[in-house]
Amino acid sequence: MDKQIKRNWWQEHRPTTRRLVQLYSALLHNAYVRGFIDGKIYTGTAKYACAPGLNCYSCPGAAASCPLGAVQNALAASHHRAGWYVLGMILLFGVVLGRTICGWLCPFGLVQELLHKIPTPKIRKSRFTRALSWLKYMILAVFVIAIPLWYGFRHQIPLPAFCKYICPAGTFEGAVGHLANPANASYYSMLGLLFTRKFVIMLVIALACVFCYRTFCRFFCPLGAIYGLFGRWNVIGVKVDEHACSHCGACVRHCGMDVRRVGDHECIHCGRCMDVCNQGAITIRAGGITLKAPGRDRTGSLSDALSKHSRAGRFLWGAALLLLCFALVWFNFLDPAAKSTARQEPPAAAIAGGPAVAEKSEGSAPPAEEETSLKAETPVEEEASPETGSSAAPSYDSAAPIGHEAGEQLADFTLTCYDGSEFHLADTRGRITIINLWATYCTPCIHELPYFSELYTAHPDDIAMIAVHSALVTMDPEEFLSGKDYAMPFATDTGNVVADIIGATGTLPQTLVLNRKGEVIYNQPGSITPEALAALYEEADK
């Protein structure tokens, strides 16, 4: 009797195929499990690619880029070059899957559905919710298209406005995902008003999802709005047999989304409508292939074939699990970027969920250079003879250990600057050294470049300075800098070698200040003011 009760309970509560696919997709989107342990962002080659669902680039486990953030950065950079790659990816996702991605593959969609399972009174859909569903198209037009284009063309500054000011996925997966890691406790000091506003937005939307089915997906998500534009043409999704349909409207009445008809721009192709269709007129198809048909008449469907021929079913599930295992092993152990990140001691965090980290989307990191002693490379000036009456020349040797924390000295590195000159860290002894990590896709980075240039211009003989662009290049830095009058030299960190040496966190901008002995006195991510930069210069001169 107990076994029968347990069997009945399992039959009633076992996860559906769609739920299993959603869980599988969420894990595949976030295959870099090490990021949740170390608190660092994966920056390997896979970040060149866009994942189909809404999954923040800054999530500790994200193995690919978010298409929404990539679109914004592509539009912001369109005054330099057209983002054909990103637009091509969106077009491919839209034509092949459309909003089937929302219903089956989107990790944030899964989060919303799990929140809605909390037992509370639910808000039913109505004319009001149907009208409100158009809000996401307004958000798409203003925050995803208009603002990035305006700042890109008018100010030549990348500003992914939706990621920076609204996106709850970025706040939850990126900021909260990192701040929840004890290794990132030091980053709480970076939190400000921007994070507070976004955190409140996230909480409001999460609470709304408890009472209203997929609140963010229905009313706010511009990625769903983009995919909805392909509703008439997507290859995979629910299809209605017009000859079998009696037009009773049961499918629309029982749908949790604000659809007017099955398969329109609001439909996420979850297949729930098949369960209430008395005519068996609704199927999920991929072109001419039926992927799922109503249980009362499954003849010719793929699900029927898999049930009759269990070998085919085992083969498909086995292939899917094999792919997942390979992704987990590759991203966490085999990828050179994972190995490089593992050697970095400081954590990485996208604290404000802003665009600086949200959409870098490229780059791989080869092994870091071996640590070498700067002491051996820096000659010590001999003291003057007492007879001469002159004082001994100062020595800038340091006994500090090699590292990138305050009180340590950096390992030596050499960079070739854009003007053809070379920057040798070992040659900077005796001067105050300032290293700025920046990127063309980072709005705060671009805002603060003039501060560094002004300080360098004021002390050209006393400061050694270099601005290092990330190896993750989305826009040619030299082209971006053409016509701009910055005094300090620039270089690109090809291969992330320098980033490994200085302990790059993955959050941009990042500033390092070394005293005259080459010892680190400051190494922090985040924006810096001219006053703070001047104060660091004075502190390094003590």
Q: Which of 14-18, 179-183, 218-222, 392-396 has the lowest mean pLDDT?
A: 392-396
- Please state, in angstroms and rounded to a whole number, the distance separating the CA atoms of residues 57 and 69: 8
Count CA within 13 A, CB hemisphere, residue 434. 29
C-alpha closest to that of 529 among 463, 450, 448: 448
For 178, phi then psi, to 5°, come to -85, -40
- What's residue 77's pLDDT? 81
Q: How confident is the model at residue 8 (pLDDT cuts 50, 70, 90)?
A: low
- Paired tokens of 85: 């790659």
Q: List the chain domain ranges.
A: 20-236+336-358, 374-385+393-540
Q: Which of 187-196, 346-355, 385-394, 474-483 has the lowest mean pLDDT?
A: 346-355
Give the CATH superfamily of 374-385+393-540.
Glutaredoxin (3.40.30.10)
- What's residue 7's pLDDT? 63
Mean pLDDT (whole number) for 56-68: 93
Decide if 76 contacts 193 (C-beta within 8 A). no
- Please state, in angstroms and rounded to a whole number, the distance separating the CA atoms of residues 525 and 499: 12
- Paired tokens of 123: 């808000």
Mean pLDDT (whole number) for 482-503: 87
Q: How confident is the model at residue 48 (pLDDT cuts 50, 70, 90)?
A: confident
Mean pLDDT (whole number) for 54-66: 93
- Please state, in angstroms and rounded to a whole number, the distance separating the CA atoms of residues 537 and 542: 9
Locus of tokens 């090809």: 494
